[in-house]
Amino acid sequence: MSTETIFSKIIRHEMTADIVYQDILVTAFRDISPCAPTHILIVPNILIPTLNNVYPSHEALLGRMITTAVKIAKDEGIAEDGYRLVFNCNKNGGQEISHIHLHLLGGMPLGPI
């Protein structure tokens, strides 16, 4: 059984966060410790612990995460200059919160990966 994280509480508005977008599938909020002028996390409203738990039935949801990131990038005014989308997976990938999240980073040159 998967264990909920603070992200589930943010999705349910039980914990304060700077939510910039929410719909029936996804929630997006500003990272509490930003690595760039724009650093927003896009998360599915259902708990999927890691990318290793993503299945074909999630494909529409994963697509919504990306289209949401693009919409927010445009809203934030960073789309034209460019941005980076990142998923971390497990220990070696640097994943700290076991609820998949797409990092939207931009607002400055990010350099090579």
Q: At 8, is the secondary structure helix, strand, or coil? A: helix
Q: Does 6 bind ligand AMP (CB under 6 A)?
A: yes
Contacts with ligand AMP, 39-78, as mask; x by CB under 6 A: --x-------------------------------------
Alpha helices, H only, 3-112:
6-11, 59-76, 90-93
Contact 40, 31 (CB under 8 A): yes
Min dist CB 102 to ligand AMP, Å, is: 9
Where does this chain bind ligand AMP (CB under 6 A)? 6, 17, 29, 31-33, 41, 88, 94-97
